[in-house]
């Protein structure tokens, strides 16, 4: 409805000007833009749009808001193109204007969407060729090598993927970067430990599994914390690695490969596309970063470490700790790598990615890290006012006890186990549903459906929460056929596929539509809002807005489906209702695909 909103805003501007020209309104102050905004109405009884501007215009024109609203309406109701869109405008309360779209306008909106695979969501950068587009970097997932990918990474993966899909759909070029933790002190510990207990793992690939690697990592960490000699050996090992020792590099790359393979299994199951560009990629830039910071006079030595004191430079609250960019032993930090990454991503091709916007999807615990890093990026002039760097934070995943999700033994939950369990449970549910409905289905159907539902449920449960809050992981709730869940939405889609199987050809071309019931108009109005929602998700980077929209769409569709005959209706009503079914199915499918969720024909 964005297009209509704009048109209406113009028409109101026209009416205001006409009233001014006629002399029925006079401006008493010049410092006003007389900006009039048309907003979607907050309640159905206020029509489709409301205009609240008469209240703020009262001062400018020294008339009561109601008088101003009346003058605007008088003009508006005279304009031919307005009459094509709306029923006569009405005044409400102290001076609000309510606008209600007329039936022909609503119907033409439905026609447009039936004939447009983008469902009338406008594209940005339409006139640019692919190579002219400046990419948006979405940095997401980003697990750490030799550590198991945990639910925090699952959230980042699911949310980041959805944000990337929405941006891509809008026409942006998106660089999906996996900033894998593939460098740093963990390798010193791990290599030292493996040399003692499993030397073959450092020489040949596939000698150990990621599960083992994680166990080795835990053991190494315990030793590191307890044993001074082990600490020393580990640190020496890091130095060897950083200096490019051939054996150390070989061991490192074997470990990375092993992790990479396991991560890929998860990405394949979740259907996630990512370009791996780990922390190690930026090694060669770290020294240069320090030099540039020094040139900008941002560095200060503190206990042998090179630091940026943002509290001094920027007058930030004095408790904010300094950002250490080089440790006293010469080593670099997580923040140093992120600074190098910002510079690289924003630098023009071929020195960098030539990106304009950077989006980072991590847990909210990293908010102050990103705040500092972005600020330093600005001070060093890598980030200019053309750029936008944004941290997209999310909350924790909690278990049934309301605490951070853990296994019974207190370890982090393995993603693989979590996805397996969801699919298993979806399968058990399906089998019991089949038996109660006395339906027979083959093995292939059962496996396919439970896989889609199991994965969709995990994704949707995550995406449907406002990402900034913590959410409680609960299989029973997320797999339920009722409520704001993936199965509920998938089922609405399946119902429409069912209508088609029962003989309702929802794909045939149609040239006239006729609607008669409230249920139909409710569905139409909701269908026409899809573009508004996509733009909102893009602006706020909140996929839960799209989830809510699709949930409401499914509810409104189900009410229509339950109350209104479709296949048994007369010819013209039937084909009009089938057209609504088709548009609902298309909207659900496109919306779900932007959440990274596949649909089913039957379930
Ligand atoms: N590897 C980090 C972690 O597991 C996330 C990295 C996020 N991206 C970044 N550019 N810092 O917490």
Please give the pLDDT value at position 238.
86
pLDDT at 192: 92
Q: How much is the average pLDDT of 302-318?
A: 85
- How does residue 200 score in pLDDT terms, banded at 50, 70 and 90? confident
Lowest mean pLDDT among 271-275, 412-416, 442-446: 412-416
Contact 436, 510 (CB under 8 A): no
Å from CA of 597 to ligand 1 middle: 25
Whether the CA torsion 210, 212, 216, 217 is positive or negative: it is positive
**Residue-wise pLDDT tens digits, 533-544:** 999 999 999 999
The set of residues, in sequence order, having a beta carbon less than 8 Å from that of 315 and lying 6+ positions away, is none
DSSP code for 207: S
Name the least confident of 27-41, 248-262, 508-522.
27-41
Bridge partners for 101 per DSSP = 86
Helix-strand-coil split of the chain, %, nearest 5: 55, 10, 35
Ligand 1 site residues (CB inside 6 A) read 139, 142-144, 179, 181, 338, 341, 360, 362
3-state secondary structure 471-493: EECCHHHHCCCCCCCHHHHHHHH
Tell how far the Cα of 361 is from the centroid of ligand 1, in angstroms. Answer: 8
Cβ atoms of 78 and 551 closer than 8 Å:
no
Reported pTM: 0.94
Question: Mean pLDDT throughout 134-149?
Answer: 91
Q: Considering only CA atoms, which of 63, 131, 35, 54 is closest in space to residue 93?
A: 54
- For 132, left (φ over 0), alpha (ψ -120 to 50), or beta? alpha
Q: What is the pLDDT of residues 40-85, one digit of tens each?
A: 998 888 999 998 887 778 878 888 889 888 988 999 999 999 999 9
Q: In this predicted structure, what is the pLDDT of residue 32? A: 60
Residue nearest to atom 11 of ligand 1 (CA): 338
The pLDDT value given to residue 503: 80
Distance 378 CA to ligand 1 centre (A): 20
Contacts of 292-300 with CB under 8 Å at 24 or more apart are 292/343, 292/380, 293/325, 293/339, 293/376, 293/380, 296/379, 296/380, 296/381, 298/376, 298/379, 298/380, 299/325
Predicted local confidence at residue 275, as pLDDT? 97
Best residue among 140, 142, 217 to mutate for probing ligand 1, ranked by most atoms within 8 Å of CB: 142
Give residue 413 CA to ligand 1 midpoint distance, Å.
19
DSSP state of 404: B
Task: Name the average pLDDT for the chain.
Answer: 91
Q: What is the pLDDT of residue 209?
A: 72
What is the β-pairing status of strands 136-139 and 357-363? parallel
Question: Residue of the nearest CA to atom 4 in ligand 1?
Answer: 143
What counts of helices (H) and strands (E) characterise the chain? 22, 14
Instruction: Kindly tell me if the per-residue pLDDT of 89 is higher than 70.
Output: yes
pLDDT at 210 over 70: no
CA of 301 to the centre of ligand 1 (A): 26
- Cα→Cα distances 513→101, 220, 230, 574, 576, Å: 16, 70, 77, 10, 5
Q: What angle do CA 124, 130, 131 make, to 5 degrees?
A: 125
Dist. CA 374–CA 389, nearest whole Å: 7
Testing ligand 1's pocket by substitution, the residue of 362, 363, 412 carrying the most ligand atoms inside 8 A of its CB is 362
Residue 460: is its pLDDT beyond 90? yes
For 151-160, 207-216, 439-448, 452-461, which range has the lowest pLDDT when averaged over its residues?
207-216
Q: Give the three-class secondary structure for 426.
A: helix
The whole-angstrom separation of Cα 6 and Cα 307 is 50
Packed helices 530-540 and 543-563: angle between N→C axes, nearest 10 degrees:
160
Residue 127 CB neighbour total at 10 angstroms: 6
Report residue 145: phi and psi, to 5°.
-60, 145
Q: Where is pLDDT greater, at 402 or 125?
A: 402
| Percent over 90 (pLDDT), the chain | 67
pLDDT at 136: 97
Given the structure tokens 């508006």, which residue do they identify? 76
Q: Answer for the pair 339, 377: CB distance below 8 angstroms, yes or no.
A: yes
Closest ligand 1 atom to Cα of 362:
7
Residue 265 pLDDT > 90: yes
CB-based contact 568:187 (threshold 8 Å): no
pLDDT tens digits, residue range 6-50? 999 999 988 888 888 887 777 776 656 667 789 999 888 899 999
Q: What is the 3-state secondary structure (H, E, C) of 94-123?
A: CCEEEECECHHHHHHHHHHHHCCCCCCCCC
pLDDT, tens digit, 9 for 90 and up, residues 334-371: 999 999 999 999 999 999 999 999 999 999 999 999 99
Is the bond preceding 350 in cis, omega lying within 30 degrees of 0?
yes
Within a 10 A sphere around the Cβ of 132, how many other Cβ atoms?
9
């Amino acid at each position: 409805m964005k297009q209509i909103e704009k048109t209406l805003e113009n028409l109101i501007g026209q009416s205001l000007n006409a009233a001014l020209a006629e002399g029925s309104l006079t401006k008493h102050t010049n410092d006003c833009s007389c900006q009039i905004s048309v907003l979607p109405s907050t309640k159905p009884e206020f029509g489709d749009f409301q205009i609240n501007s008469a209240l703020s215009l009262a001062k400018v024109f020294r008339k009561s808001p109601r008088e101003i609203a009346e003058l605007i309406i008088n003009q508006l109701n005279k304009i031919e193109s307005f009459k094509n869109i709306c029923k006569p405008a009405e005044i409400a309360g102290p001076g609000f204007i309510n606008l209600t779209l007329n039936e022909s306008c609503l119907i033409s909106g439905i026609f447009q969407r039936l004939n447009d695979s983008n469902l009338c969501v406008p594209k940005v950068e339409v006139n640019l060729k692919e190579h002219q587009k400046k990419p948006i970097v979405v940095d997401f997932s980003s697990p750490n090598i030799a550590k198991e990918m945990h639910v925090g990474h699952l959230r980042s993966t699911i949310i980041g993927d959805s944000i990337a899909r929405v941006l891509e759909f809008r026409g942006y070029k998106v660089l999906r970067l996996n900033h894998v933790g593939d460098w740093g002190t963990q390798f010193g510990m791990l290599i030292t430990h493996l040399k003692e207990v499993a030397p073959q793992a450092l020489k040949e690939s596939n000698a150990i599994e990621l599960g083992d690697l994680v166990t080795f990592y835990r053991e190494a960490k315990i030793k590191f914390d307890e044993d001074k000699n082990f600490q020393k050996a580990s640190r020496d090992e890091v130095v060897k690695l950083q200096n490019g020792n051939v054996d150390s590099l070989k061991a490192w790359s074997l470990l990375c490969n092993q992790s990479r393979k396991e991560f890929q299994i998860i990405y394949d199951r979740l259907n996630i596309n990512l370009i791996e560009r780990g922390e190690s990629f930026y090694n060669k830039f770290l020294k240069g970063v320090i030099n540039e910071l020094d040139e900008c006079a941002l560095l200060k030595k503190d206990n042998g470490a090179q630091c940026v004191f943002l509290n001094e430079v920027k007058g930030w609250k004095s408790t904010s700790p300094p950002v250490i960019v080089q440790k006293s032993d010469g080593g670099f930090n997580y923040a140093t790598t992120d600074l190098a990454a910002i510079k690289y991503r924003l630098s023009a091709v071929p020195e960098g990615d030539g990106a304009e916007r950077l989006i980072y999807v991590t847990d909210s615990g990293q908010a102050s890290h990103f705040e500092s890093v972005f600020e330093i990026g600005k001070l060093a002039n890598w980030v200019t006012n053309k750029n936008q760097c944004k941290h997209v934070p999310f909350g924790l995943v909690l278990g049934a006890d309301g605490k951070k999700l853990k296994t019974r033994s207190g370890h982090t939950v393995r993603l693989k186990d979590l996805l397996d369990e969801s699919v298993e449970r979806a399968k058990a549910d399906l089998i019991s549903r089949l038996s109660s409905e006395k339906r027979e289905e083959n093995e292939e159907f059962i496996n396919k459906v439970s896989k889609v539902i199991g994965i969709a449920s995990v994704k949707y449960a995550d995406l449907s929460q406002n990402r900034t809050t913590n959410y409680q992981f609960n299989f029973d709730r997320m797999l339920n056929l009722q409520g704001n869940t993936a199965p509920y939405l998938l089922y609405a889609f399946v119902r429409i596929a069912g209508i088609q199987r029962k003989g309702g050809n929802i794909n045939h071309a149609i040239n006239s539509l006729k609607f008669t019931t409230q249920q139909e108009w409710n569905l139409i109005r909701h269908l026409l809002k899809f573009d508004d929602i996509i733009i909102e998700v893009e602006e706020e980077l909140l996929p839960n807005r799209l989830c809510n929209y699709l949930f409401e769409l499914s509810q409104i569709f189900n009410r229509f489906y339950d109350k209104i005959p479709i296949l048994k209706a007369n010819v013209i009503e039937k084909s009009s209702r089938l057209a609504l079914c088709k548009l609902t199915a298309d909207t659900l499918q496109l919306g779900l695909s932007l959440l990274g969720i596949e649909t089913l024909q039957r379930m």
